[in-house]
Amino acid sequence: MKLRDIQKIINAKVLTGEKYLDNVIKTAFACDLMSDALTFKEDKTLLLTGLVNPHIIRTAEMMDISAVVFVRGKEPDEETIKLAKEIGIVVMTTENILFTCSGILFMNGIKGAELARR
């Protein structure tokens, strides 16, 4: 599914990376602990989180995650947005809570990312 389609179904606002909205996402991973995010390895993954700081973007960069959605209407500071722009990561925010956002994506064909240790 294209990021622009994801944006619509979760009613998200794009904060950065508009030019990448035609990129395809196949899986999603939802967490608020970045150590959990480091346990999976899949391409074309979307990260959903309630944390809003530059560490999220650095983790996304390390894991080759192309897009991050901040849930519960949270918006990152300018430093985080600037970093995402420099790296080329799409950043969105949605009013949905993490559980609801995950469910919407799952119902629309986005699967959960598999753990790397399996």
Of 10, 11, 6, 9, nearest in space to 22 by CA: 6
> Does 11 or 35 have the greater pLDDT score?
11
- Of 2-6, 12-16, 34-38, 95-99, least confident by mean pLDDT is 34-38
Residue 116: pLDDT over 70? no
pLDDT of res. 40:
58
Q: What distance in Å separates the CA atoms of residue 3 and residue 34, rounded to the nearest whole number?
A: 22
Angle at 60 between CA 72 and CA 114, to 5 degrees: 90
Domains of the chain: 3-112 (3.40.1390.20)
Residue 38: pLDDT over 80? no
Provide, rounded to the nearest whole percent, the portion of the chain with pLDDT above 70. Answer: 84
pLDDT of res. 87:
94
pLDDT of res. 14:
98
- Tens of pLDDT, residues 53-92: 999 999 889 888 889 999 999 999 999 999 999 999 999 9
Residue 118: pLDDT over 60? no
